[in-house]
Homo-oligomer: A and B are copies of this chain.
């Protein structure tokens, strides 16, 4: 980027110094949080254009159940990064549509087991190819190499 080359330590120092230059100006457009929110919005929009009858969280729940099989509602929430209140709503809606079924855990009576129905299994098998297209379209503004770099760094942030 046309800057004099510097070591890792120098980069760290530069970052600290860079906070000072113009303390007055604050540009929302440059803040990682704001851009992250916009990138997420764009992805959700792309998702909806390919898969109209399911939201990304609903898809995540089905995909994870397809991957690991029956599990408790709470455990599922942990695996797909949803708190207990959120995952309950997602499972309730999938249940209402016949894509998952719930049952009580035989031993631990606190637990609610969740599993795919045959219809849920059929649905996720049908949708996974579309999900690959969604990923491709989301990453389309980047070259293959950039996409790989981006995913690596994004994973470090998540």
Residues on A facing B (Cβ under 8 Å) = 1, 8, 11-12, 14-16, 19, 26-28, 30-44, 47, 56, 60, 63-64, 66-67, 80-81, 128, 131-132, 134-136, 138-139, 141-151, 153-158
Partner of A40, one of B8, B27, B37, B143: B37
**In the complex, chain B residues whose CB is within 8 Å of the CB of A150:** 32, 150, 153-154, 157
Q: How many identical subunits does the complex contain?
A: 2
- Whether A42 touches B153, Cβ cut-off 8 Å, given contacts A33-B138, A34-B60, is no
Contact present for B36 and A43 (CB under 8 Å) = yes
Contact present for B28 and A145 (CB under 8 Å) = no
- Whether A15 touches B131, Cβ cut-off 8 Å, given contacts A32-B138, A32-B151, A155-B35, is no
- Nearest B residue to A127 via CB reads B26
Contact present for A158 and B26 (CB under 8 Å) = no
- Nearest B residue to A124 via CB reads B26
18 A-B pairs within 8 Å (CB atoms) are namely A8-B145, A11-B145, A12-B144, A14-B144, A15-B148, A26-B132, A31-B135, A33-B47, A33-B56, A34-B80, A35-B154, A36-B43, A36-B158, A38-B81, A39-B154, A142-B153, A142-B156, A153-B153
